[in-house]
Every structure is written in C-alpha cells, then in structure tokens.
Amino acid sequence: MNKTTSLTSLSVIVPVYNSEKTISRLVEELIRELVPLFRLEIILVNDNSRDNSDEVCISLFEKNKEIVKFYSLSKNVGEHSAVMAGLNNVTGDYTVIMDDDFQNPISEVLKLVKASLDNDYDVVYSHYEKKRHNFFRNLGSWLNDKVANLMLGKPRDLYLSSFKVLNKFLVNEIIKYEAPFPYIDGLIIQITDNIGKIDVDHQKRIQGSSGYTFKKLISLWMNMFTNFSILPLRTSIILGLIFATIGLLLGIYTAIERFINPDVPVGFASLFVSISIFGGIQLIMLGMVGEYIGRIFLSLNKKPQYTIRNKYEYYGDKK
C-alpha cells in the first residue's frame, strides 16, 4: 500500500437499512483499519430503517464526530438514492461505496483503493469468484447483469457490484444528475470508460437478510430501462413492424384460401388469438410509453431523489 501514502482523504459511504446489529461493528472496524492510512470520513445514510438503526448511527456520530457523518432520510427511497445522498456530502479524494452487511471485508477496501491509485481508474468495481448471496438475490443479479449489457452497453466482463471505489472527478460528475430514480452504475457508464475491476472476497451475511425484494429489483430494472436507454421504444417499433407484416401475410393467405375454397369456414379461434396477441402487445407498448412520460412528468415536477430529515455533521473550527 505504498501508493496510498499520497492519498489525502478517503470517504466511505454506507447506506443503512435495518442494520442496528451490524453497523456499529462495521464502523469500528473501518476506523481501526483505515484511520492509520487515510484521513477518513464515514458517511452513514439511514434509508428510513424500521429498527433502531437511527439511534445506533447517532451514537456512532457522537463517539466519532471527527470521522462519522450521519444523514437520516424521511422515507425509504432505495439504495441508489440513498447513495446519492452520501455522494452529495463527501469530501474525500476517493469514495468507497459498501453495504452494511459485512459481506465485504474491510481488507478488500484497501485492495479497491490500491487498484484505483495504481492504475488511475475513475472507478474500480469489485468482482466475486463466488457470491454468497441467496439463490433469489444471485438470480436477480444475473438478470440485472444481462439487462445492463443490452441496455447500457456495459462491457460483458464487468460485474456492476455495489462495492466499488470512485475518484473525485467521477463523484462530481455523478452528483450533477438531479432527476428522480437515479441508477448509479448507469450514470458511471454514461460518464466514463476508464473502468477497472478487481477480484475480492465475498463472505456470508452475518445478520438478517437482503433488503432487495422482487419489487425493488423490478424498480431497479425500470430505472435502467427508462432513465438510460430508449431501446424499449425502438423495440416497440420493430415489434410493431414484425406483427403488422405477419398480419398482412395472414390476411393475404386467408383471402387466397377463401378464393380457392369458398367453403372454408372463417377461423374464430385464430381470429381471437390474433386479436389477443396484438392487443396485448399494444397494451405493453402503451404502458412502456406511459412509463417514460410519467418519469418525464415527475422530473419536471422536481420529485426529489431523497429528503434528509436530520443530519449530523461536525467540522470543528470550520463549523
């Protein structure tokens, strides 16, 4: 870690959700391992947890005022919006984003930062040889990866992990995004291709279960679809042309068949199936267009990414 001596400051953002039993230990280990190496700040963002995470985070701030900042959000907005709240308040030259569940050891933070320093990357993503999430979470991550390849033009060998390090340039560019429904990885890919990755260890969750429900995964995919790509709209045009062509060919075929054999009965079943298919496709595409328009409406009405109810900061003489 020789090169880390040139680093003046490091910020660590931890989005907190129902983590009253783990967050204290995480912060204590971060302070013990990283303070000797960096000028450290730890930014805790409580995404309206249902347990006593707020009280625990306040206690951590009170004990470590020169290191810990704490922001309590007024409603649950999801991981990416909570991270945006943290990014808008960091001061470090480099910023690490990590979860609150201890699946990423503190030692791996040093590996990420060293990789970024040694190679001058804008962002370094972690990569896991073996992920220790449950089956549902792993399936969701796999689907998210494939969708990102298609929608965002993501390099196929890059895994969009939530555990990553960003330099100051990239943080400053990301926080320029003020529309609702942020997707951090989509913003990163739009801003830079100076991206690195490094293999890190992934451990089992020591407490609780993942906060990613099926509903939240769907919401994440919709953010990717409608905020960072117009591919769904282009797909609707292509599907429309394909099924219009099929309908035309079926119409010609039916007319020829009736001309050749007038006794052939009109197929009610085929007519019903055709109407159902075409009607379903039209409703899906109208819904997709409506999703785009709805998000434009919310953006124009300045729906906030997050709202901070309480903030706990300490700047010493600069306060």
Same domain, 218 and 264: no
The answer to whether residue 267 is domain-embedded is yes
* 171 in the same domain as 281: no
Q: Are residues 8 and 117 in the same domain?
A: yes
Residues 244 and 308 in one domain: no
Asked whether residue 211 is domain-assigned, the answer is yes
**Residue type for position 126:** S
- Is 194 inside any structural domain? yes
Q: How many domains does the chain have?
A: 2
CATH number, domain with residue 54: 3.90.550.10
DSSP summary character for residue 4: G
User: Do residues 51 and 122 both lie within one domain?
Assistant: yes
Q: What would the pLDDT profile of 270-303 be if each residue is shown by its tens digit?
A: 665 567 667 667 767 776 777 777 767 667 777 8
| Domain encompassing residue 70 | 2-228+304-314
Q: Within this chain, do residues 264 and 209 fall inside the same structural domain, yes or no?
A: no
Looking at the predicted structure, is the pLDDT value of residue 243 above 60? yes
Q: What is the pLDDT of residues 101-134, one digit of tens each?
A: 777 788 889 999 999 999 999 999 998 776 555 5
Q: How much is the pTM?
A: 0.73
Do residue 101 and residue 216 come from a single domain? Answer: yes
pLDDT of residue 129: 72
Q: Is the pLDDT of residue 313 over 80?
A: yes
pLDDT tens digits for 189-208? 889 999 999 988 756 655 55
Read off the pLDDT of residues 41-68 as tens digits, 9 standing for 90 and up: 999 999 999 999 999 999 999 999 999 9
> What is the rounded average pLDDT for all residues in the chain?
80
State how far the Cα of 92 lies from the Cα of 102, in Å rounded to an integer: 22
pLDDT bucket at 5, cuts 50 / 70 / 90 = very low
Same domain, 43 and 91: yes
Q: Is the domain of 89 the same as that of 201?
A: yes
Q: Which residues contact 186 (CB under 8 A, 6 or more apart)?
A: 148, 152, 223, 224, 227, 228
Q: Is residue 319 part of a domain?
A: no
- Indicate whether 141 pLDDT > 80: no
Residues 203, 237: one domain?
no
Residues 67 and 209 placed together within one structural domain of the fold:
yes
pLDDT of residue 163: 92
Q: 146 and 185, same structural domain?
A: yes
281 and 243 Cβ atoms separated by less than 8 Å = yes
Q: Is residue 81 part of a domain?
A: yes
Please report whether residue 274 resides in a domain.
yes
